[in-house]
Amino acid sequence: MYQKVLAAVDFSETSRKVLDAALRLTNDNPARIHLIHVVQPVTDGYALKVYTENFQALEDDAVEQAAAQLKDFQNLDNIPADQIHTVVGDRAGEIRRCCADIEADVIVIGSHGHSGERRMLGATANKLLHGARSDILTVHAGD
């Protein structure tokens, strides 16, 4: 049994499967689970126009929305509030950083996520495989 599990969620349908797998790895002990969502920086993938806009406000709003969604998971599954992480940056890099910071034994992540981000999240799981120092469980997203 793992002592600390980091579950990476993106709020897709797969996120529930990821959290359920994390709970199984801890014998249904939410005190052993950390939950992370990584917000992609607003400037990633946007045209130059975004640089003339107040992109920091957009990013702050995205982080605020993500934190609210994570709170729903936290409340539903009784995960301690100090084990909820909302960060901005490169998904794989931030997940690895959080894993190291909390000394997690395993990362649980979906094999694919939101339909608009399928390739990105598939790439995130792949990047994790090549750089993490902990075990990684990828949860099949389904078809």
Task: Give the CA angle between residues 80, 95, 13 to the nearest 5°.
Answer: 70
Model confidence over 65-103: pLDDT tens digits?
A: 998 988 887 788 899 999 999 999 999 999 999 999 999
Per the CB < 8 A criterion, the answer to whether 32 and 105 are in contact is no
pLDDT in tens, 34-54: 999 999 887 665 555 555 567
Looking at the chain, the number of H-run helices and the number of E-run strands are: 5, 5
CATH class as words, domain 5-139: alpha beta
Q: What is the pLDDT of residues 103-119, one digit of tens each?
A: 999 999 998 654 444 44
Instruction: Tell me the pTM.
Output: 0.83
Q: Could you tell me how far CA 117 lies from the centroid of its own chain?
A: 13
Question: 61 pLDDT band (50/70/90 cuts)?
Answer: confident
CA-to-CA distance for 103 and 91, rounded, in angstroms?
18
